[in-house]
Structure 1
Amino acid sequence: MDTDARFVRVVLTDTVNVNRVRVVPMLRFRHQVLTNGLGLTPALLGLPPQFDAVYSGAPVGEVTMLPDPSTIRILPHRKTHALILADLLLPKETHKTTTQAFPLDRHVFPLDPRALLKHAIYMLEQEFGLCVKAGFESEFILLEKDAKTPVDNDVYADMNTFRNHRVAETLDSMVESIQDMDIVVEHFHPESASGQYEIVTGYTDLLRAVDDLVMTRIVIKEVAQQVGGFHATFAPKVFADQAGTASHVHLSLWDVSSSSGNGKGGGHNAYCDALTLPSSFDAVKDVMTGNVTVGMHQFMAGVLQNLPALMALTAPTTMSFERIKPSYWSGAYQIWGVQNREAPLRVSHDGSHFEYKPLDGTANPYIALAGILFAGMAGMRDEAKLSLPVQVDPHTLSNEKRSELQIMRLPERVQQAQRLLKENAVLRSGFGDAMLDNFLAVRGKEAEYFDGLDAEEVRKLMIARY
């Protein structure tokens, strides 16, 4: 790679979605690290977000942090630094040992989140001949240096945002840096909460989309500080009386045989051709859901059926559940709908994809998306039936009506979702015991710790870390 970069940041996104880094001089990276990797304690995957204390694992052992050459990028806002994402491998002497979590590759460390997603993608292709394409909405809040005060009090899509020169320059620089890293930006705009914005990155193959998301978040945080002197946060609920901050993902299934494989679209969308939108709520009883393929019906049904447990992976913190409230467009009930923003699974108007809403920036996106794939594949294996769509805000219905329609409230606390995840056979089978038990140990003890803090302490810590 021809570059003026003098250093390479080798990055691993850990269990609790903290990006851990080793910085290596470029000469050593080229001659040694690119091929041989870096030694790393496996206990790193047992650390919580609030401090360095090993919640799962032991002080003994080592894994290899091996850079993936396809992910290397120069950081446009700091051209002396390159960034590359890494996978975790077992030491060579253990390569003959099988791992329950990843029969695909006996060399990978079974707690590696990125390897987990690779495995889920491989299983979908091998068993069903399908791949997933995805696009993410990266919502964040810009705060002043005090990490308390929002940079504005504008409303959704408010043009006034761009009258603030510091904010406008910062947003422009973010988007330009993201684009310079070969990541497609579709659009960006002010969001609903004070100081809140959203950058939407382009639709592409799932692993590439998640890698792009990790890099996008790194750029957002660093450019916010460098250009505007701001603190950017992805914390799910910064202001108690305003909209929360999410990381919605849009997903569709594609035939592997006809997909271009270049990560930028092409091929045949195996999802559907169109959906029929019921004209009224009562009409839902009588209207079929259109031309969605049987496989995609089943995939969505699998996700919906496992959603209460999935939320422990995709909304994994105490603060995550402060965001997911009825009538906040966050998806608080176990339903799906066509263009219904109160549904956790929202199908687009043309039926080309669906949006998964209970996802935020505290979730490791590799773990979260692997969970969604495992749930969807279980639905396809079991030929699961998709319930009828709900075309209203379910919270406006009476308790009797919700009961009649079998509309259930999703978990309201992270501990409730964690208990469901622990007993969920579908996700345990996909993740393997080692990965799932490690996740539950770390996130479970984290939740216990946060329960002992007052709301302001939680807020400060989450804003600082995420």
Structure 2
Amino acid sequence: MTDRPAAAKSHQPDPHVRRILERAELEGVELVRFLYADHGGVIRGKAASRSRLAERLTTGIGHTVAMMAMNMLDQLQEVEHMGPVGEVRIVPDPATYVPLPHAPGAAAMLSDLRRLDGSPWDACPRTFLKDAVAELATEGYTLVAAFEPEFTLGRRLPDPAGGPDRLVPIDDSLCYAGTGFDTAHDYTIKLVRALETQGLRVEHYHPELGPGQQELSVRHAAALRAADNHVLYRETVRGVAMRMAMWATLAPKPLAGQAGNGAHLHLSLWDDTHNVFADGGEVLECFIGGLLAHLPALTALTCGSVNSFRRLSPRAWSSAYAVHGPDNREAAVRICSPLGETGEPNLELKPSDSSANPYLSLGAVIHAGLDGIRRKLDPGESVDVDPDTRPGRYQRLPASLDEALDALEADEMLMEALGPLRRTAYLAVKRSEAVAFSGMDPSYELFHHMRVF
């Protein structure tokens, strides 16, 4: 009996398949990684050999349902329908095929998790984003997005005292300083070339505020592509570093007392003709209103780890209050002024980092903004000062993962959007992570987030 999903039998071969097979042979690819992001925010997957690639592009690769109940410490949680019994398929999207310059002989595709009959699985994060995009389309809109990630570059060294490994930054240069450019130059050029080879168009780069901290952004894209891009970005940042005997981490706060790593989420909303945020009218205001109304709950998905909340502190330019304002870098939602005559206005959601599952994060943001549009939610006053200078006036965002998860459980709209299986598994995984790190020495938390993200 074949393990091909029933729904796939009636389809003609995807037009991308022949191109993929030809490219794999021409480029000497031996293994193709089928990648997905789990509820812990970890990028996982399996690889198909070139000899079986034609078949696996259709059938996918078998996978236990239990993996979506695994937390970032590889601790399996008890979630109904995610135990030892049950199987899904990791089914790649042929349109996302890219070579991996940092891993010669390997390529990758972003993947969906599907049932044995080929239908979407209720716990598939990529499907969650696809469904959010489709729901937004019913109102006549598409979302264009880009993650703006920061990461820390250094070396992973044993702790002389026998504790967890330490991350030693590559430099101690100042923010935007020329010495920072020079110290990380060889790595940065390799990274840029690797990203461009995979179709990720690099926009900007600079050494950031903290020791070894880098910021490199890639061009915006339609929502699904933006999330796919962020998965590839994360893998490439770390992969290039490993090939150079270095260590890169996108963890929100890998070094105590130093600047945190965000992945600010930039958003613009389009109809058939133009960027509707450029109009500056009701749609923009209501979209912001939706983000702010759901923001305490959203942080459980956009800032998806215990470590995230070390970063979300007042006066750290990471946002700690549910406010909005033009070019206000302490506001949770910053209204960005356009660059030049051809630039497009966009929103920047600052409470966002790379420990989040980008599909769940961006999908939830779409649902929140769409709820604002449909219910015409008022975003409140625009704030043009640091909100922390006005104590008690503005809503403080959750100060811990547990608080954020409480807010998520209380948010009926987001819980409904997530669906029963996905929300049950996500809450179980994230609650277990909160418990696992509670009471532990901070070095334990910092090490595991530096290691995983």
Q: Same fold (TM over 0.5)?
A: yes
Mapped partners of 1:80, 1:58: distance in 2: 34
Mapped partners of 1:181, 1:317: distance in 2: 28
What's the counterpart of residue 230 of structure 1? 246
Note if contact 2:202-2:216 (Cα within 8 Å) is conserved in structure 1: yes
Correspondence 1:338 to 2:312: no
Q: Deviations over 1:194-244 (max 9, x none)?
A: 1000110101111111101110111110101112x1111111112222211
Partner SS for 1:22? strand
Mapped partners of 2:437, 2:75: distance in 1: 15
Q: Deviations over 1:238-282 (max 9, x none)?
A: 222221111111100001x33xxxxxxxxx111124xxxxxxxxx
Correspondence 1:464 to 2:451: yes
The correspondence of residues 135-174 of structure 1 with structure 2, limited to 5 A, is 135-146=146-157, 147-164=166-183, 167-174=184-191
Partner SS for 1:334? coil
The correspondence of residues 18-417 of structure 1 with structure 2, limited to 5 A, is 18-30=42-54, 32-56=55-79, 57-92=82-117, 107-126=119-138, 128-146=139-157, 147-164=166-183, 167-227=184-244, 229-255=245-271, 257-258=272-273, 268-273=274-279, 292-350=280-338, 352-399=345-392, 402=393, 407-417=394-404
Q: Which amino acid aligns with 1:425?
A: E
Which residues of structure 2 form unaligned runs of 5+?
1-19, 158-165, 339-343
Q: Deviations over 1:311-357 (max 9, x none)?
A: 11111222111100000001101100100000010001247110001
The range that moved more, 62-71 or 47-56, is 47-56
Q: 1:357 to 1:398 in 2, by over 3 A?
A: closer
- Count of residues in correspondence between the two structures: 414
Note if contact 2:171-2:211 (Cα within 8 Å) is conserved in structure 1: yes
Q: 1:398 to 1:359 in 2, by over 3 A?
A: closer
The range that moved more, 169-178 or 48-57, is 48-57
Mapped partners of 2:182, 2:94: distance in 1: 41
Q: Which amino acid aligns with 1:71?
A: T
Mapped partners of 1:55, 1:295: distance in 2: 42
Note if contact 1:47-1:55 (Cα within 8 Å) is conserved in structure 2: no
Mapped partners of 2:258, 2:93: distance in 1: 40
What's the counterpart of residue 163 of structure 2? none
Q: Deviations over 1:386-434 (max 9, x none)?
A: 21110000112244xx2xxxx1111111111101101211101211122
Q: Where in structure 1 do 4 or more consecutive aligned residues deviate above 6 Å?
A: none
Partner SS for 2:48? strand
Mapped partners of 1:312, 1:391: distance in 2: 26
Mapped partners of 2:137, 2:99: distance in 1: 32
Note if contact 1:330-1:357 (Cα within 8 Å) is conserved in structure 2: yes
Mapped partners of 2:62, 2:401: distance in 1: 34
Q: CA deviation at 1:55?
A: 4.3
Note if contact 2:320-2:331 (Cα within 8 Å) is conserved in structure 1: yes
Partner SS for 1:143? strand
Please give the TM-score of this superposition, normalised by the length of structure 2: 0.89
Note if contact 2:251-2:354 (Cα within 8 Å) is conserved in structure 1: yes
Note if contact 2:77-2:432 (Cα within 8 Å) is conserved in structure 1: no
Percent of aligned pairs sharing the same letter: 34
What's the counterpart of residue 448 of structure 1? 435
The range that moved more, 356-365 or 430-439, is 430-439
Q: Which amino acid aligns with 2:222?
A: D
Q: CA deviation at 1:39?
A: 1.0
Q: Deviations over 1:180-204 (max 9, x none)?
A: 1111100111011110001101011
Note if contact 1:55-1:445 (Cα within 8 Å) is conserved in structure 2: no
Note if contact 2:181-2:206 (Cα within 8 Å) is conserved in structure 1: no
What's the counterpart of residue 100 of structure 1? none
Mapped partners of 1:27, 1:38: distance in 2: 14
What's the counterpart of residue 5 of structure 1? 29
Q: Note the aligned Cα RMSD (angstroms).
A: 1.3
Mapped partners of 1:213, 1:113: distance in 2: 14
Mapped partners of 1:337, 1:236: distance in 2: 24
Mapped partners of 1:371, 1:429: distance in 2: 11
Q: CA deviation at 1:90?
A: 1.1
What's the counterpart of residue 40 of structure 2? 16
Q: Which amino acid aligns with 2:122?
A: P
Q: Deviations over 1:436-461 (max 9, x none)?
A: 12111110111111113110111111
Note if contact 1:39-1:64 (Cα within 8 Å) is conserved in structure 2: yes
What's the counterpart of residue 263 of structure 1? none
Partner SS for 1:304? helix
The range that moved more, 112-121 or 314-323, is 314-323
Mapped partners of 2:335, 2:287: distance in 1: 13
Mapped partners of 1:452, 1:11: distance in 2: 33
Partner SS for 1:144? strand
Mapped partners of 1:78, 1:457: distance in 2: 30
What's the counterpart of residue 162 of structure 2? none
Note if contact 2:66-2:76 (Cα within 8 Å) is conserved in structure 1: no
Mapped partners of 2:371, 2:416: distance in 1: 10
What's the counterpart of residue 15 of structure 2? none
